[in-house]
Every structure is written in structure tokens, then in C-alpha cells.
Chain A
């Protein structure tokens, strides 16, 4: 813990040091909680059958709208399907969509950001002005525009959210890359005649990684939430799919007598977003120190 590196803290009163230790402990706990949830989500993603007591799509007309209890932890829905099992299986759709969307954002943003940082001034200007325009569109609306262009469906939703996220990554990568490119090892590579694409990928990109991982972690959370939102609008997977957004849309019709159908998928959603945020913030705090 080097407090002296942060100029604003040098004038902190005595006792701040102890506070600093505590926040670090709190941060560590937050990171642990985040990783725990992320690990659980990963397990659900790969092996939903281990945890889910029922298949996600088996109707049981004798037990529709059963309240949460010992048999059905999260209750059952209008067709008697087990909400808990559906939430478990739904991880695969909702979280995967968010991950794919983030991957698209990171990939697109890295290409644009590196091109802006390494390219001619004109290329840089064009790309940066493009991100200005890009950022002027609210993310949800931009995603909707993309879906209007490429059609509805789970893959399309992932692409749409990814496209909307590209400018954030592009700006971050460009800024980082510009800083890294002044480093001596990059200069050396240039002098040695290494072609730009090669030193960009071998030397610049790995050193740009840290902040991008932070943003990607935070971004995955909002991408998962955005995917659920677009599914809620009926633009993603279609109803029998246990996607969390689809479940929210279905459950919303029965809020008056069965709140659990729409509430529990949302709890799962919030947990994932929280985990992503906590991990992202802890990594951020680490990289700042």
C-alpha cells in the first residue's frame, strides 16, 4: 500500500492509514464475493443439470403458480415449470449473450483503437470523430437500430449490444496504446523494422490489456442486463427459452397473483451485474495502486 503515490492523500489526517487498510480489506471481501458469484455462474453456465432439480421446460399442469417452497425453491410458473430450474438453465442464454456482446465490443474497440493510435493522423481523426457520433446515441437505442437492421434473435441481440459498446473500448484502447507506444521497447521494435501490425499485436496490445479487462468486466454486467432488457421486449430468444429476459416478460403478466415468476430471474440478473461490478472495481483499484 503506497499512499504517498496518491497526491490527494498525502495531506490526509492521521488515522487515514487505518481507514486505508480497512477499505483494502473491504475491497478484498468484495472481490472474493464477486469471484464466488462469477464461479457459481460459470458452473451454472456449463453444468446447469447438476443444480437444477427439474428440466427447464417440463410442464406440470397440476402444480401451476405454486408459491416458493421446499419442492419448488422459486415456485412454479403458469405452466407448472420450476422457476428455479429455469433460472439455472437461463444462465446459459442470458450470461452467454452478455459475454459474446462484450467480446464483440472488445474486439471491435481494440481494432479501431489500435488503428487510431498507430495510423496516420487522418485515420485517427476519422475514427475518433466516429466514436464521438457513436457515443451520442444512447446504447439501448443504438442496439435497437442494429436489431432493426439485422433482425431479431439471440445472436442479433449479442451483436447489437456489442456494436453499441465498441466506442467505449475504442477510446480506452487508443488512449492506452498511445501511452504504450512511447515506451522504449516499442521504439526499439520500430527501429528494428518490425512491421506495425506485428509490434502492435506483440508489444502494444498486451500492455493495453489491464484497463480493458477492467472495463470489460464492468461492461459484461451491463451487457447481460441489456440483453435481458432486449429479450424482455421480445427481440431476443422466443418464449419457451428460459432466458431471464423472456422469463421477466412472461412473469410480468402474472404479477398480481404470482410475483415469483418475474422476481427471481431479476435477482439472478442483479447478482451477475453486481459480481461483474465488484470484480471490475477491485481490479481497477489494484491497477491504480
Chain B
């Protein structure tokens, strides 16, 4: 991350992509061996308790899913399959995992992304409004931030539902009705994340505030707002960018729970169903997809650093 002359951006990108591929390979390997080691007998999971004791059937199923091959062969097949985008076959539904997930990825992703945008806007808003104000304002926002971070999104969802859907009837309580049904779940996910981001940005602003360049900017006649927007906010954005991948992961994870609360379609329902039936191909596919999202988000964050902070464009990094 340190030094990054713009000319070497392609090489940097290549290195990042390579690291990303390695992390993904690790993710696939870890899930594969975790499933084979801890999964006990996967054939039991496929057949269910009733049919698990029929010997002929077991051999047949083992052959069908390729579970009778040596572990190394299974692993190599798994890698090869994933390389061409084949996520495996669901035990429970007996159809390709990609078909099980296909309709469910977008609702979850749209929920997570809208929550990310709302969360970032909320955090920016709070930071800009409160930055450079008195001690009381700082303490007040700090309390709000701590509270926002402590509230689990799924319970916040229940609160919002209870207030805005059942008492005030402003928003639909359940299901998918376009944008209006996206508002409350996005807010439920966004507010805790906004709390974390605002905390991080505030912390950085507090550090920056006493630097000489802030004093000189103020001496040049910059007002409170101008100072924040033109000078100090940039600094606060940097640690927030570092958190981007973590935020996205948290949102996808939280979405699973929030979807349950709002009875929304999405990965949540499919995933919990799969977890309950020990349908490991579906679960590991979702986990691997989430790891891929994490890797991509991290790479984008790395590319954003020099855009936000000019010092990172030159060999002498701060």
C-alpha cells in the first residue's frame, strides 16, 4: 500500500489480483477440507435420516456425487469445477447450486449495496455536521455512534417494523414491493455500519484537528464547513476506505438476518434452509462468493487510496 507511483498502477493491480486469487484459492481449499473433515458423512446429509441405512443406495449416491473418489481427486475436481464457474450440486434440492442461488443473489446484493450507500451518507452527514463544533456536540454524536454500533441490525429491523409499518403504516411490513420495501431493511443494516464509519472518521478528524495545516487553513479564513469539506474530511475518508471490504462483508452477513426479519427473498432464506439441512455445497458456495466480494472490495479500496490521498501517489508515503 505504501508507495505507489501512478506509472506502476498496472503492475500493482496485477499483484493485487494475484493476492486476491490466492486468498480465494485458500477460501476454497479451507471450505473443501472443512467440509470433508468435519462434515462427518455427507451421504447421510444427502439421503436424510430415513434412507441413510440402505447400503445399495449409499454407494449409488456416493458415485453420483463423486464422493467415492480419493480426496485429492475430489479436491482437484472441485478446483476445476470452480474455475469454470460450476459451484457444485445441492444435496437437498438435487439441482446445480448456481440454479438454487441464481434468483437470490440480486435481492441480497441490492439490499447490501443500498445499505452501504445509506450508511456512508449517514456517516458523512454526521461527521460533516458535527466536525469542528463544541465539545457538547462531539460528546452527543459520540453517544449516538456508540448506540448505533451496539444495536444489532436484526433487532433494529424489528423496531423499525414495529414503528413504521405497524404503528404508522408508512412502509410495507413484509415481502418485496419495489423501493418502498427496501427502505426499512436498508436502514436497519445501514445505521450500525454508519455508527462504525462515523466513529472511525471522527477519531481521525480528532487526530488531524491539531495539525499545523489545519491551523494555517483556518488562518486563511476557512470557515468550519470549508475546513471540513476542503481539508480534513479527506483524512477521515482514508481509514473508512480501509474498512470498505469489512463493511461489505458485514452487510452481506447482516442481510441474511435482516431478510429473515422482513421476510424478504434473498440468500438468507436459501442459506438458512441449506444450513439446517446440512446442504454443504450451497453453504460453501455462498461463503466462497462472499469471500470473492471481500477480495474485490479490498482491491477497489486499495485503488482508491491514491485517489483520496495525494501523498500515497508518490514514493515517499506519509
- Which A residues lie at the B interface, using CB under 8 A? 8-9, 11-13, 19, 22, 26, 129-130, 132-134, 136-142, 144-145, 147-152, 221, 225, 228-229, 232-235, 248, 251-252, 255-256, 259, 262-263, 266, 269-270, 273-274, 277-278
Distance to closest chain A CB from B2 (angstroms): 18
A274 to B39, alpha carbons, bound, how many Å?
Answer: 36
* Contact in complex: A232, B154 (CB < 8 Å): yes
* B219-257 interface (Cβ within 8 A of A): 249-250, 252-254, 256-257
Partner of B158, one of A26, A139, A233, A266: A266
- Which B residues lie at the A interface, using CB under 8 A? 22-24, 26-27, 30-31, 34-35, 38-39, 135, 139, 146-147, 149-152, 154-155, 158-159, 161-162, 165-167, 173, 207, 210-212, 249-250, 252-254, 256-257, 260-261, 271-272, 274-276, 278-280, 283-284, 286-287, 290-291, 294-295
Tell whether A145 pairs with B158 under 8 Å between CB atoms, given A9-B210, A233-B272. no
Q: Can you pick out 27 interface pairs between chain A and chain B where the beta carbons lie within 8 Å of each other?
A: A8-B207, A9-B210, A19-B135, A26-B139, A136-B23, A136-B26, A137-B290, A137-B294, A138-B250, A140-B256, A141-B249, A144-B275, A145-B31, A145-B287, A150-B38, A225-B152, A228-B152, A233-B256, A233-B275, A248-B154, A248-B158, A255-B162, A255-B173, A256-B173, A263-B158, A263-B159, A270-B151
Tell whether A141 pairs with B290 under 8 Å between CB atoms, given A228-B152, A274-B146. yes
Distance to closest chain A CB from B147 (angstroms): 7
A269 to B257, alpha carbons, bound, how many Å?
Answer: 16
**Complex contacts, B30 vs chain A, CB 8 Å:** 130, 133-134
A233 to B294, alpha carbons, bound, how many Å?
Answer: 24
A115 to B118, alpha carbons, bound, how many Å?
Answer: 42
Interface of A is mostly: helix
A8-B211, A129-B26, A248-B158 known; 11 new pairs, CB 8 Å cut-off, are: A8-B207, A11-B212, A132-B26, A139-B250, A141-B290, A148-B280, A225-B152, A232-B261, A233-B272, A235-B272, A266-B158
Tell whether A138 pairs with B253 under 8 Å between CB atoms, given A130-B30, A148-B278, A235-B275. yes
**Complex contacts, A274 vs chain B, CB 8 Å:** 146-147, 150
**Complex contacts, B166 vs chain A, CB 8 Å:** 255-256, 259
**Complex contacts, B290 vs chain A, CB 8 Å:** 137-138, 141
Interface of B is mostly: helix
**The 8 nearest A-B residue pairs measured at CB:** A140-B253, A133-B26, A138-B249, A266-B155, A138-B253, A273-B150, A136-B291, A148-B283
A132 to B275, alpha carbons, bound, how many Å?
Answer: 24
* Contact in complex: B139, A252 (CB < 8 Å): no
A252 to B154, alpha carbons, bound, how many Å?
Answer: 11
A229 to B23, alpha carbons, bound, how many Å?
Answer: 28
**Complex contacts, B167 vs chain A, CB 8 Å:** 259
A221 to B150, alpha carbons, bound, how many Å?
Answer: 8
A12 to B211, alpha carbons, bound, how many Å?
Answer: 8
* Contact in complex: B260, A277 (CB < 8 Å): no
Identify the closest chain B residue to A251 (Cβ): B158
* Contact in complex: A248, B155 (CB < 8 Å): yes
Tell whether A141 pairs with B260 under 8 Å between CB atoms, given A8-B210, A11-B212, A12-B210. no
Distance to closest chain B CB from A75 (angstroms): 13
A259 to B151, alpha carbons, bound, how many Å?
Answer: 17
